[in-house]
Structure 1
Amino acid sequence: MNRIINGRVVLVHKRMYRVATSYGEILCTVSGKFRYQVLSLAAYPAVGDYVELELQAQENKGVIHQVLPRKSVFSRHHAGMKTDEQVIATNIDMLWIVTSMNEDFNMARLQRYVIGAKQSGAIPFIVLTKADECHDIAPFIQSLRTFHTMDYEIVSAINGQGLQRLHKFLQEGITVAVVGSSGVGKSTLVNALLQQEKMRTSEIRAKDAMGRHTTTHRELIAVGQGCIIDTPGMRELQLWANEEEITTNFEEVERLSASCQFRDCTHQATIKGCAVQQAIKDGELAETQLKSYFKMQREAQLQMKRRQEQERINDRKRNKRKRL
């Protein structure tokens, strides 16, 4: 006898979903009605989602009828020219932004992850990995001062440094998503927290200090009383955000802008009376911060144009369906 139950998506493979339920893990698909009603990829079930499904007990399979409301969503603009939101993880409480203390360390990329985390509704937390291979951590800690009150932990999966504190975050009902570029040690970190080799890892490439990309899918894993969502390395992170959301996350640039001589100042080096450019000259603001600010604003403007066009297309689809 079929019955309606709730569950949580732990793994997505193309259009198949593995859902954890009180009856165990069930392999599911979405219903035909769901497919017909949904207009964007972002509305499909993602890892971390709570869903309502119809359990087909005799076949040990299920059909997902709806995705329950999400309390948080970490997403990005879909890679390439496609105008769509790609959901990375949902219903997360913390976002661990993992970066290794070697050539991979990149402040501009970290800035993007931090903004994305704040936008998602999760608490951002930076994890600096491979402490056992780093001979001088001071420059990395100094760089993080850009984020002012941002919390972080220095970790080594080899000797266990920092792992005890990370374990404390994984309390009952808490879900953490682990994100970062390939080779920074995300899966090695998850392995260390699991105290077993659940995820495959590879050796570091000596020529560029980067690990080989091994995690190929997002998966929710129970760790202690909490849950971790491990994710593949992301080569690019175009934020799914508007200009206002980006602007509010560059607090220092915005604060300085208020002191510019002209209200419509564009903060270019040739403009006199620009407080932002003066701060760069005085060493109070990194020029890379201003460049990141401009770059992300341009991306947001382009995305907004694409989204408006996509919304017009969706409106036509909705109107067409109403007439059927």
Structure 2
Amino acid sequence: MNILENYGLKNIYIEESKNYPNFKLARVIAQYKGLYKIVTESNEKLAEISGKLRHKTTDLVKFPAVGDYVMVSFDENDSNAIIHKILMRKTIFSRTAVGINEQVQIIATNIDIVFICMSLNENYNLNRLERYLSITWDSGAIPVIVLTKSDLSKNLSKYIQEVEEISAFSDILVTTSKENNVDKFKKYLKKDITTAFIGSSGVGKSTLINEILGENRLETKEVGKGDKGKHTTTGREMFPSPFGGVIIDTPGIREVGIQSTDVSKYFLEMENLVNQCKFSNCSHTNEPGCAVKKALSEGLIDERRVESYFKLKRESSYDGLTSKELEHKKLDQMFKEVGGLKKARKFIKDKQNRK
């Protein structure tokens, strides 16, 4: 039996692996500091990257990540396997690396379905949900919105309606901590499908995964004061589902950087409006012929969604900038109505000279 088949193996990776006959196909199922856990067709092993791969790799995105299919070599003794090659990535779910300028950190790869979890208590935040949806659509995966802890909500129908309005036709699952939720997830869990649970700390991802797995594989904690959940997951790890395919658990993410993300895939109606504006450089504030302002005045779009779109659009344009360039661009955005930073400086200087 090929154990890899229990870990979402697709035929495309079997075919690609034939290009490297000197190595064996494996999948990264967990990531630790400097080490990885992989599964091959016959067993699980710890692995490290080869010296050649380490020396020629400077970007975080070029290191192996949970979900990657890799080509490895190993002896039959207890030594670690060596990762020599990362195969084609079908999808990449990433965020801006914390504390590392101009670097993107991969959360997981080769994901087919992303369960975006948001609890219906103090975690409820439509702007954050739009951020997750933008990144998921751009990654190539299919988003499924999971509204957790519905039993703690006093405005359930209102929240569901608000989420439906921004869901972009994504499926919405409503779960509760007072009943079993497994049947709601079964149709998404199939033999060659890789799923991932993402969301803020304490929204109940680990609890749901434990329910699906039928055992307490992940540590969970009771909801804290003020109905806030407590973050327990500290790494990314993959688990075979009893219904087929695999589930990736991810650490709670307070905020996801959206640099390098193409938000247009999620905000299609906003992209269409912007393209209808009379002027190509429309700031959507006071210009005549602004399709965005017209749609707002007619109640066709929500002001919160408009603000969310432009905020994410600005962030996505910061990709690849140095810290100095980033600071300059943000200042330009602040002074956009007066023509940018240079004109703002000239205006201030002229004003001082007139005194």
Q: Give TM-score scaled by structure 1 length.
A: 0.87
The superposition leaves residues 160-196 of structure 1 with CA deviations (integer Å, 9 ceiling, x where unpaired) of 24x3130221110111011000011000110111121
Look up the equivalent residue of 2:238 and give its one-letter code.
L
Q: Shift in Å at residue 62 of structure 1?
A: 0.7
The runs of 5 or more residues in structure 1 that have no matched partner are 310-324
Q: 1:279 to 1:80 in 2, by over 3 A?
A: farther
Work out whether 1:295 is the aligned partner of 2:311.
yes
Higher mean Cα deviation, 279-288 or 185-194? 279-288
Q: 1:263 & 1:22 partners in 2: Cα distance?
A: 55
Match of 2:237 among 213, 219, 224: 219
Match of 2:264 among 239, 247, 252: 247
Q: Shift in Å at residue 39 of structure 1?
A: 2.5
Higher mean Cα deviation, 12-21 or 134-143? 134-143
Match of 1:278 among 294, 311, 315: 294
- Secondary structure of 1:235's counterpart equals coil
Look up the equivalent residue of 1:169 and give its one-letter code.
Y
Q: 1:271 & 1:103 partners in 2: Cα distance?
A: 38
Work out whether 1:35 is the aligned partner of 2:54.
yes
Q: 1:140 & 1:52 partners in 2: Cα distance?
A: 46
Answer whether contact 1:132 1:159 (CA < 8 A) is retained. Answer: no
Match of 2:282 among 260, 265, 276: 265
Q: 1:263 & 1:69 partners in 2: Cα distance?
A: 38
Q: 1:259 & 1:203 partners in 2: Cα distance?
A: 50
Q: 1:33 & 1:23 partners in 2: Cα distance?
A: 26
More strand by share: 1
Q: 1:171 to 1:281 in 2, by over 3 A?
A: same
- Secondary structure of 1:183's counterpart equals coil
Look up the match of 2:337: none
Match of 1:10 among 29, 40, 56: 29
Work out whether 1:205 is the aligned partner of 2:221.
no
Higher mean Cα deviation, 90-99 or 14-23? 14-23
Q: Shift in Å at residue 299 of structure 1?
A: 1.6
The superposition leaves residues 90-124 of structure 1 with CA deviations (integer Å, 9 ceiling, x where unpaired) of 11110110111112111111111111111111111
- Secondary structure of 1:113's counterpart equals helix
Answer whether contact 2:138 2:263 (CA < 8 A) is retained. Answer: no
Work out whether 1:151 is the aligned partner of 2:167.
no
The runs of 5 or more residues in structure 2 that have no matched partner are 1-21, 326-355
The superposition leaves residues 237-257 of structure 1 with CA deviations (integer Å, 9 ceiling, x where unpaired) of 012425xx2234322222223
Look up the match of 1:108: 127
Look up the equivalent residue of 1:173 and give its one-letter code.
D
- Secondary structure of 1:119's counterpart equals helix
- Secondary structure of 2:23's counterpart equals strand
The superposition leaves residues 17-47 of structure 1 with CA deviations (integer Å, 9 ceiling, x where unpaired) of 1101123110111110110121311111100
- Secondary structure of 2:71's counterpart equals strand
Look up the match of 1:320: none
Q: 2:264 & 2:173 partners in 1: Cα distance?
A: 27
Q: 1:81 & 1:292 partners in 2: Cα distance?
A: 25
Match of 1:71 among 85, 90, 94: 90
Look up the equivalent residue of 1:153 and give its one-letter code.
L
> CA-atom RMSD, angstroms?
1.9
Q: 2:179 & 2:68 partners in 1: Cα distance?
A: 34
Work out whether 1:229 is the aligned partner of 2:245.
no
- Secondary structure of 2:318's counterpart equals helix
Q: Shift in Å at residue 157 of structure 1?
A: 4.4
Q: 2:126 & 2:274 partners in 1: Cα distance?
A: 22
Q: 1:99 & 1:255 partners in 2: Cα distance?
A: 28
Q: Shift in Å at residue 70 of structure 1?
A: 1.1
Q: 1:275 & 1:71 partners in 2: Cα distance?
A: 37
Structure 1: which 4+ aligned runs deviate by more than 6 Å?
none
Q: 1:227 to 1:193 in 2, by over 3 A?
A: same
- Secondary structure of 1:56's counterpart equals coil
- Secondary structure of 1:305's counterpart equals coil
Look up the equivalent residue of 2:292 and give its one-letter code.
V
Look up the match of 1:160: 180
Q: 1:5 to 1:157 in 2, by over 3 A?
A: farther
Q: Give TM-score scaled by structure 2 length.
A: 0.80
- Secondary structure of 1:52's counterpart equals strand
Look up the match of 1:312: none
Look up the equivalent residue of 1:192 and give its one-letter code.
E
Answer whether contact 1:77 1:84 (CA < 8 A) is retained. Answer: yes
The superposition leaves residues 217-242 of structure 1 with CA deviations (integer Å, 9 ceiling, x where unpaired) of 00001111110000001111012425
Look up the equivalent residue of 2:266 and give its one-letter code.
N
Answer whether contact 2:191 2:245 (CA < 8 A) is retained. Answer: yes
